[in-house]
Protein backbone atom coordinates (compact mmCIF):
# COMPACT_ATOMS: atom_id res chain seq x y z
CA UNK A 1 0.00 0.00 0.00
CA UNK A 2 1.51 3.34 -1.03
CA UNK A 3 0.72 6.96 -0.24
CA UNK A 4 2.48 10.25 -0.80
CA UNK A 5 2.17 13.81 0.44
CA UNK A 6 3.46 17.07 -1.07
CA UNK A 7 5.57 19.81 0.44
CA UNK A 8 4.01 23.21 1.13
CA UNK A 9 4.99 26.82 1.18
CA UNK A 10 3.41 29.72 3.05
CA UNK A 11 2.72 32.68 0.74
CA UNK A 12 1.60 35.17 3.40
CA UNK A 13 0.85 35.34 7.10
CA UNK A 14 3.36 33.08 8.91
CA UNK A 15 3.70 33.76 12.64
CA UNK A 16 0.64 36.05 12.66
CA UNK A 17 -1.38 32.89 11.91
CA UNK A 18 -0.38 31.48 15.30
CA UNK A 19 -2.28 34.47 16.81
CA UNK A 20 -5.51 33.90 14.88
CA UNK A 21 -4.74 36.00 11.79
CA UNK A 22 -5.28 34.58 8.28
CA UNK A 23 -2.47 33.05 6.23
CA UNK A 24 -2.22 31.67 2.71
CA UNK A 25 -0.37 28.48 1.87
CA UNK A 26 -0.09 26.26 -1.19
CA UNK A 27 1.11 22.70 -1.84
CA UNK A 28 4.46 22.26 -3.59
CA UNK A 29 4.29 19.14 -5.72
CA UNK A 30 7.91 19.21 -6.90
CA UNK A 31 8.92 17.63 -3.60
CA UNK A 32 7.15 14.87 -1.70
CA UNK A 33 7.20 12.12 0.88
CA UNK A 34 6.44 8.55 -0.23
CA UNK A 35 5.41 5.84 2.17
CA UNK A 36 4.92 2.17 1.44
CA UNK A 37 3.42 -0.30 3.92
CA UNK A 38 3.96 -4.02 3.35
CA UNK A 39 3.45 -7.31 5.12
CA UNK A 40 6.61 -8.54 6.75
CA UNK A 41 7.70 -11.94 7.96
CA UNK A 42 9.47 -10.27 10.90
CA UNK A 43 7.27 -9.72 13.95
CA UNK A 44 6.33 -6.17 14.92
CA UNK A 45 6.20 -2.86 13.06
CA UNK A 46 9.47 -2.18 11.23
CA UNK A 47 10.30 1.33 10.06
CA UNK A 48 12.84 2.06 7.35
CA UNK A 49 13.60 5.72 6.64
CA UNK A 50 17.05 5.70 4.99
CA UNK A 51 17.05 9.47 4.63
CA UNK A 52 17.38 9.86 8.41
CA UNK A 53 19.18 6.53 8.82
CA UNK A 54 16.30 5.02 10.76
CA UNK A 55 15.85 1.24 10.71
CA UNK A 56 14.03 0.18 13.84
CA UNK A 57 11.14 -1.72 15.32
CA UNK A 58 8.42 0.57 16.65
CA UNK A 59 8.53 -0.60 20.29
CA UNK A 60 12.28 0.21 20.53
CA UNK A 61 11.67 3.91 19.76
CA UNK A 62 10.94 6.48 22.48
CA UNK A 63 7.19 7.29 22.64
CA UNK A 64 7.80 10.87 21.47
CA UNK A 65 9.84 9.86 18.42
CA UNK A 66 8.55 12.01 15.51
CA UNK A 67 7.84 9.02 13.24
CA UNK A 68 7.11 6.41 15.91
CA UNK A 69 4.57 8.65 17.61
CA UNK A 70 2.61 9.12 14.36
CA UNK A 71 2.41 5.38 13.83
CA UNK A 72 1.32 4.82 17.43
CA UNK A 73 -1.32 7.52 17.02
CA UNK A 74 -2.78 5.85 13.94
CA UNK A 75 -2.75 2.39 15.49
CA UNK A 76 -4.53 3.62 18.61
CA UNK A 77 -6.78 6.14 16.86
CA UNK A 78 -10.40 6.29 17.99
CA UNK A 79 -11.16 7.28 14.37
CA UNK A 80 -10.20 3.87 13.03
CA UNK A 81 -13.37 1.87 12.46
CA UNK A 82 -13.12 -1.89 13.26
CA UNK A 83 -11.03 -3.70 10.67
CA UNK A 84 -13.13 -5.76 8.24
CA UNK A 85 -10.13 -7.94 7.43
CA UNK A 86 -9.22 -8.47 11.06
CA UNK A 87 -5.78 -7.04 10.35
CA UNK A 88 -4.45 -4.56 12.86
CA UNK A 89 -1.72 -3.69 15.26
CA UNK A 90 -0.44 -6.64 17.16
CA UNK A 91 -1.80 -9.21 14.69
CA UNK A 92 0.34 -12.20 13.91
CA UNK A 93 1.70 -10.54 10.72
CA UNK A 94 4.51 -8.06 10.93
CA UNK A 95 4.36 -4.74 9.09
CA UNK A 96 7.12 -2.92 7.29
CA UNK A 97 6.87 0.84 6.69
CA UNK A 98 9.26 2.35 4.14
CA UNK A 99 9.60 6.12 4.08
CA UNK A 100 11.43 8.19 1.48
CA UNK A 101 11.37 11.94 0.99
CA UNK A 102 12.67 14.70 -1.23
CA UNK A 103 11.48 17.45 1.14
CA UNK A 104 14.38 19.07 3.01
CA UNK A 105 13.97 18.91 6.78
CA UNK A 106 13.39 22.04 8.93
CA UNK A 107 13.35 24.39 5.96
CA UNK A 108 9.75 25.61 5.86
CA UNK A 109 8.53 23.11 3.28
CA UNK A 110 6.43 21.13 5.74
CA UNK A 111 8.49 17.94 5.80
CA UNK A 112 7.25 16.86 9.24
CA UNK A 113 3.57 17.25 8.41
CA UNK A 114 4.07 15.58 5.01
CA UNK A 115 5.72 12.54 6.62
CA UNK A 116 2.81 12.28 9.05
CA UNK A 117 0.13 12.62 6.35
CA UNK A 118 1.76 10.03 4.09
CA UNK A 119 2.25 7.53 6.96
CA UNK A 120 -1.33 7.91 8.15
CA UNK A 121 -2.80 7.51 4.64
CA UNK A 122 -0.65 4.49 3.76
CA UNK A 123 -1.19 2.78 7.10
CA UNK A 124 -4.95 3.32 7.26
CA UNK A 125 -5.33 1.96 3.70
CA UNK A 126 -3.11 -0.99 4.54
CA UNK A 127 -5.27 -1.76 7.56
CA UNK A 128 -8.29 -1.41 5.29
CA UNK A 129 -9.68 1.27 7.61
CA UNK A 130 -9.94 4.46 5.56
CA UNK A 131 -9.96 7.84 7.29
CA UNK A 132 -11.57 11.07 6.09
CA UNK A 133 -9.38 14.10 5.34
CA UNK A 134 -10.81 15.73 8.43
CA UNK A 135 -9.69 12.82 10.61
CA UNK A 136 -6.25 12.68 8.99
CA UNK A 137 -5.85 16.42 9.50
CA UNK A 138 -6.73 16.12 13.17
CA UNK A 139 -4.32 13.23 13.77
CA UNK A 140 -1.48 15.11 12.07
CA UNK A 141 -2.25 18.25 14.06
CA UNK A 142 -1.96 16.19 17.26
CA UNK A 143 1.54 15.05 16.25
CA UNK A 144 2.52 18.57 15.16
CA UNK A 145 1.63 19.75 18.67
CA UNK A 146 4.01 17.17 20.16
CA UNK A 147 6.95 18.51 18.17
CA UNK A 148 6.27 22.16 17.42
CA UNK A 149 4.92 23.64 20.63
CA UNK A 150 2.03 25.83 19.55
CA UNK A 151 1.49 25.20 15.82
CA UNK A 152 -1.30 27.07 14.06
CA UNK A 153 -2.30 23.96 12.10
CA UNK A 154 -1.64 25.50 8.67
CA UNK A 155 1.00 22.91 7.64
CA UNK A 156 -1.12 19.85 8.30
CA UNK A 157 -4.16 21.47 6.66
CA UNK A 158 -2.56 22.46 3.35
CA UNK A 159 -0.74 19.13 3.07
CA UNK A 160 -3.71 16.94 4.03
CA UNK A 161 -6.08 18.67 1.58
CA UNK A 162 -3.34 19.22 -1.06
CA UNK A 163 -4.99 22.48 -2.11
CA UNK A 164 -4.26 26.20 -1.70
CA UNK A 165 -5.73 27.25 1.66
CA UNK A 166 -6.74 30.49 3.32
CA UNK A 167 -6.25 29.46 6.89
CA UNK A 168 -7.51 30.90 10.16
CA UNK A 169 -6.77 28.81 13.24
CA UNK A 170 -9.88 27.08 14.57
CA UNK A 171 -12.08 28.13 11.63
CA UNK A 172 -13.51 25.84 8.93
CA UNK A 173 -11.04 25.30 6.10
CA UNK A 174 -11.32 27.64 3.13
CA UNK A 175 -9.55 26.80 -0.09
CA UNK A 176 -8.95 29.35 -2.85
CA UNK A 177 -8.46 29.18 -6.60
CA UNK A 178 -6.23 31.60 -8.49
CA UNK A 179 -8.08 33.55 -11.18
CA UNK A 180 -4.85 33.40 -13.16
CA UNK A 181 -1.80 31.12 -12.60
CA UNK A 182 1.36 32.68 -11.23
CA UNK A 183 4.95 31.62 -10.70
CA UNK A 184 6.99 31.51 -7.51
CA UNK A 185 10.68 30.75 -7.11
CA UNK A 186 11.59 29.14 -3.79
CA UNK A 187 15.15 29.64 -2.57
CA UNK A 188 16.62 27.59 0.28
CA UNK A 189 19.28 29.16 2.51
CA UNK A 190 20.32 25.61 3.42
CA UNK A 191 20.28 26.63 7.06
CA UNK A 192 18.02 24.34 9.09
CA UNK A 193 15.94 26.42 11.45
CA UNK A 194 13.52 24.71 13.84
CA UNK A 195 10.15 26.44 13.67
CA UNK A 196 9.60 25.75 17.37
CA UNK A 197 12.43 28.15 18.26
CA UNK A 198 11.32 31.09 16.15
CA UNK A 199 7.71 30.61 17.24
CA UNK A 200 8.88 30.52 20.89
CA UNK A 201 10.95 33.69 20.44
CA UNK A 202 8.04 35.54 18.85
CA UNK A 203 5.84 34.46 21.75
CA UNK A 204 8.32 35.86 24.30
CA UNK A 205 8.51 39.16 22.40
CA UNK A 206 4.72 39.30 22.08
CA UNK A 207 4.35 38.77 25.84
CA UNK A 208 6.83 41.57 26.50
CA UNK A 209 5.43 44.03 23.97
CA UNK A 210 1.92 42.83 23.22
CA UNK A 211 0.57 46.05 21.68
CA UNK A 212 3.39 46.37 19.20
CA UNK A 213 3.16 42.73 18.12
CA UNK A 214 -0.63 42.83 17.87
CA UNK A 215 -0.23 45.81 15.54
CA UNK A 216 2.30 43.89 13.41
CA UNK A 217 -0.04 40.88 13.25
CA UNK A 218 -2.95 43.12 12.24
CA UNK A 219 -0.90 44.53 9.38
CA UNK A 220 -0.06 41.00 8.26
CA UNK A 221 -3.77 40.12 8.43
CA UNK A 222 -4.57 42.96 6.05
CA UNK A 223 -1.86 41.76 3.68
CA UNK A 224 -3.18 38.16 3.66
CA UNK A 225 -6.73 39.37 3.04
CA UNK A 226 -5.66 41.62 0.16
CA UNK A 227 -3.45 38.89 -1.28
CA UNK A 228 -6.32 36.43 -1.41
CA UNK A 229 -8.43 39.02 -3.20
CA UNK A 230 -5.72 39.75 -5.81
CA UNK A 231 -5.12 36.03 -6.37
CA UNK A 232 -8.78 35.17 -6.78
CA UNK A 233 -9.48 38.12 -9.06
CA UNK A 234 -6.60 37.21 -11.37
CA UNK A 235 -4.20 40.04 -10.47
CA UNK A 236 -1.22 38.13 -9.07
CA UNK A 237 1.24 40.81 -10.25
CA UNK A 238 -0.04 42.93 -7.35
CA UNK A 239 1.27 40.38 -4.85
CA UNK A 240 4.88 41.53 -5.21
CA UNK A 241 4.46 44.68 -3.17
CA UNK A 242 2.53 42.74 -0.53
CA UNK A 243 5.38 40.23 -0.28
CA UNK A 244 7.92 43.01 0.24
CA UNK A 245 5.77 44.53 2.97
CA UNK A 246 5.16 41.16 4.64
CA UNK A 247 8.93 40.56 4.68
CA UNK A 248 9.52 43.89 6.43
CA UNK A 249 6.97 42.97 9.09
CA UNK A 250 8.67 39.58 9.58
CA UNK A 251 11.99 41.40 9.98
CA UNK A 252 10.40 43.47 12.71
CA UNK A 253 9.25 40.24 14.37
CA UNK A 254 13.00 39.31 14.36
CA UNK A 255 12.52 36.12 12.33
CA UNK A 256 14.57 37.05 9.25
CA UNK A 257 18.33 36.49 9.03
CA UNK A 258 21.23 37.94 7.00
CA UNK A 259 21.08 34.92 4.66
CA UNK A 260 17.32 35.27 4.08
CA UNK A 261 17.66 39.03 3.56
CA UNK A 262 20.47 38.43 1.05
CA UNK A 263 18.33 36.03 -1.00
CA UNK A 264 15.31 38.34 -0.85
CA UNK A 265 17.51 41.22 -2.05
CA UNK A 266 19.09 39.12 -4.84
CA UNK A 267 15.68 38.02 -6.12
CA UNK A 268 14.40 41.59 -6.31
CA UNK A 269 17.60 42.72 -8.03
CA UNK A 270 17.18 39.96 -10.62
CA UNK A 271 13.72 41.25 -11.49
CA UNK A 272 11.37 39.47 -9.09
CA UNK A 273 8.15 41.42 -8.47
CA UNK A 274 8.53 40.92 -4.73
CA UNK A 275 10.09 38.53 -2.24
CA UNK A 276 9.85 37.43 1.38
CA UNK A 277 10.96 34.74 3.77
CA UNK A 278 8.53 31.86 4.11
CA UNK A 279 7.70 29.75 7.16
CA UNK A 280 9.31 29.97 10.56
CA UNK A 281 12.28 32.03 9.34
CA UNK A 282 15.86 32.46 10.70
CA UNK A 283 16.87 30.02 7.93
CA UNK A 284 14.94 27.73 5.64
CA UNK A 285 13.28 29.15 2.57
CA UNK A 286 12.30 32.40 0.95
CA UNK A 287 9.94 32.92 -1.98
CA UNK A 288 9.93 35.36 -4.89
CA UNK A 289 7.08 36.26 -7.21
CA UNK A 290 8.26 36.27 -10.82
CA UNK A 291 6.98 36.63 -14.35
CA UNK A 292 7.23 33.14 -15.77
CA UNK A 293 9.83 34.16 -18.37
CA UNK A 294 12.16 35.39 -15.62
CA UNK A 295 11.86 32.37 -13.35
CA UNK A 296 15.09 30.72 -14.48
CA UNK A 297 17.18 33.87 -14.24
CA UNK A 298 15.84 34.68 -10.76
CA UNK A 299 16.58 31.09 -9.69
CA UNK A 300 20.13 31.48 -11.00
CA UNK A 301 20.57 34.79 -9.20
CA UNK A 302 19.42 33.10 -5.99
CA UNK A 303 21.96 30.33 -6.45
CA UNK A 304 24.74 32.86 -7.07
CA UNK A 305 23.66 34.62 -3.87
CA UNK A 306 24.07 31.40 -1.89
CA UNK A 307 20.79 29.45 -2.25
CA UNK A 308 21.50 25.75 -1.74
CA UNK A 309 18.57 24.80 -3.95
CA UNK A 310 15.78 26.48 -5.84
CA UNK A 311 12.36 25.28 -6.93
CA UNK A 312 10.20 26.95 -9.54
CA UNK A 313 6.53 26.30 -8.98
CA UNK A 314 3.37 27.48 -10.69
CA UNK A 315 0.37 28.19 -8.50
CA UNK A 316 -2.85 27.37 -10.34
O1 LIG B 1 8.36 26.73 9.23
P2 LIG B 1 7.08 26.25 8.67
O3 LIG B 1 6.95 26.33 7.22
O4 LIG B 1 6.64 24.94 9.23
O5 LIG B 1 5.96 27.28 9.05
C6 LIG B 1 5.70 27.71 10.30
C7 LIG B 1 4.64 28.74 10.22
C8 LIG B 1 4.46 29.49 11.51
O9 LIG B 1 3.41 30.41 11.27
C10 LIG B 1 5.70 30.26 11.87
C11 LIG B 1 4.09 28.56 12.65
C12 LIG B 1 2.72 27.95 12.54
O13 LIG B 1 2.48 26.98 13.28
O14 LIG B 1 1.88 28.43 11.78
- From the list 53, 64, 93, 155, the catalytic residue is 155
Q: Is the pLDDT of residue 224 over 70?
A: yes
Q: Whose CA is nearest to atom 5 of ligand 1?
A: 279
Q: Is the pLDDT of residue 89 over 60?
A: no
Element (H, E) at 5: strand 2-12
pLDDT in tens, 95-108: 999 999 999 887 88
**Nearest CA-CA partner of 256 in 274, 275, 282:** 282
Q: What is the CATH number of domain 2-175?
A: 3.30.230.10
Q: Is the pLDDT of residue 91 over 60?
A: no
pLDDT in tens, 266-316: 999 999 999 999 999 999 999 999 999 999 999 999 999 999 999 999 999
pLDDT in tens, 129-142: 889 999 999 999 99
**Predicted pLDDT of residue 83:** 53
Would you tell me the crossing angle of helices 66-75 and 133-148 to the nearest 10 degrees?
140
**Predicted pLDDT of residue 90:** 46
Residue 244: active-site member: no
Q: Is the pLDDT of residue 86 over 70?
A: no
Across the chain, mean pLDDT equals: 93
The residues spanned by each domain of the chain are: 2-175, 182-315
The CATH number of 182-315 is which of 3.40.50.10330, 3.30.70.890, 3.90.1170.50, 3.30.70.100? Answer: 3.30.70.890
Among 106, 277, 280, 282, which is best to mutate for testing ligand 1, by the most ligand atoms less than 8 A from CB?
A: 280
pLDDT in tens, 155-213: 999 999 999 999 999 999 999 999 999 999 999 999 988 888 999 999 999 999 999 99
**Predicted pLDDT of residue 92:** 53
Q: Is the pLDDT of residue 74 over 50?
A: yes
Q: Whose CA is nearest to atom 13 of ligand 1?
A: 151
Band of residue 80 on the pLDDT scale cut at 50, 70, 90: low
Cα(293) to centroid(ligand 1), Å: 30
Give CA angle at 192 (184, 295), nearest 5°.
15
Q: Is the pLDDT of residue 60 over 60?
A: yes
Cα(132) to centroid(ligand 1), Å: 24
Q: Is the pLDDT of residue 149 over 80?
A: no
Ligand 1 shell residues, CB under 6 Å:
10, 14-15, 17-18, 108, 110, 151-152, 154-155, 195, 199, 279-280
**Predicted pLDDT of residue 82:** 56
Q: Is the pLDDT of residue 148 over 80?
A: no
Cα(15) to centroid(ligand 1), Å: 6
Tell which atom from ligand 1 comes closest to the C-alpha of 151: 13
Amino acid sequence: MKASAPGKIILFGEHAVVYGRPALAVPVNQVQVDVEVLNSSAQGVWIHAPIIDLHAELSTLPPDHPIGSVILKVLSSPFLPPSPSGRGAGGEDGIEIRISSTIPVASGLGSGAAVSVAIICALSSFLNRPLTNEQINELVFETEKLHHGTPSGIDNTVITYNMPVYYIKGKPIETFKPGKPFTIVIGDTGIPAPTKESVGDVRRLWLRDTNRFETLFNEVAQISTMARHFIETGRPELLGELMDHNHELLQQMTVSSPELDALVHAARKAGALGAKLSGGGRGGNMIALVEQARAESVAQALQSAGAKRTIITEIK
